[in-house]
Structure 1
Amino acid sequence: MTWDDMLPLLLESTGQTVEMVLWSTLFTVVLGLPLGVALVVTDRGGLFPSPVLNRVLGFVVNVGRSLPFIILMIAVIPLTRLIVGTTIGSSASVVPLTLGAAPFFARLVETALREVGRDKVQAAQAMGASRSTVVAKVLLPEAMPGLIAGLTVTVVALISYSAMAGAIGGGGLGDLAIRYGYHRFETTLMIVTVVVLVVVVQLVQTLGDMVARRLARN
């Protein structure tokens, strides 16, 4: 296979991977951020203590994190078909990608929020701030560097997950590597695909680290 043959395939597959990761990241934040906040505020000594709810949420998160992604993709095929209308392609991959990453991100959010000094929370409450205001104006802003770092780790994991999605026709660079690099023995294309994935991960990690450091200085 020549470079002229490989370039269109690489561009199309890279675009599919970027699309999967962007949409999955958006939905992961929408689901994982509130879940992580809930894990912190419902804990004993939290702003909205509820031990039973906290244990339920913790159990849900732990179950989501314990499932290998390849098994999760297969297990949620009926849900994927219900939501998207199909089980193949980059759009269908967004569902298992989100379900796999949201619990992971929730734990990172929980860790970042717990690093916020309790004295800052108490000071805000002493000034008359409501509990919801403390979450919005103290916890989340103070934890922002950690949240960005956690989001960066999550996006890198999503890139890895998106490559695995190619195993069941999810599209993207993983699908390209399997169809051409593995089944058709196109070793050069396989190597180029790996290089593209490494470059994308490096760009994401560098950008995330830069943003987190800048926020930490403010």
Structure 2
Amino acid sequence: MFRLTVLASLLVLVTPRYPQPCERELDCPKYRVIERYNGYELRRYEPSLWVGTRNVMSSSRRDSAFSKLFSYISGNNERGLKIPMTAPVLSTYTPERGMYNNQWTMKEMLFMVPHNMKRYAPQPNDPTVYLKMLPQMDVYVKSYGGYSNYRTKLAKVRELKSDINNRYLYDNNAFLSAGYNGPSEPYNMRHNEVWLVARR
């Protein structure tokens, strides 16, 4: 009986608790939880195909990354194919000078290509948009609710680094954010994450 209880506890520890949008209707990247800690977890993501674009963040100009990617899935691709929206919207931030006021921070935004379209995803028409395969990767993840902006993400990344408390366990040159909700989703139903890629 004791062995069965221990086995059941271990299964709970490695069973993914997907964000609600993934549990309901959206295609999301597949992962398993390697370990859960107090306030964060370590996940292993399977390889997945994404469509992306990048730009230098600036407080003086509008970010066009989302509209470029949305245009791609709306049919601005070589086959005029409409592609279902997936989650999360993944962004990679590589802070350089002016980290806290958005100056000279490189941002890459990504939409995942649905799993059943990975083998025949159309090429983008926009030369600044590209397809990108993300390999298997382990990431430290901190989840939080409500609305999120760049400063919120920076604060949550600092919290995650403090929780991990070992800078040699993750890549400190960049961080990722994952947003799972559209703009109309209520405040108390929103799910956000920040990721740090684990070193191997």
TM-score where L is the length of structure 1: 0.24
Higher relative helix content: 1
TM-score where L is the length of structure 2: 0.25
Higher relative strand content: 2
Larger radius of gyration: 1
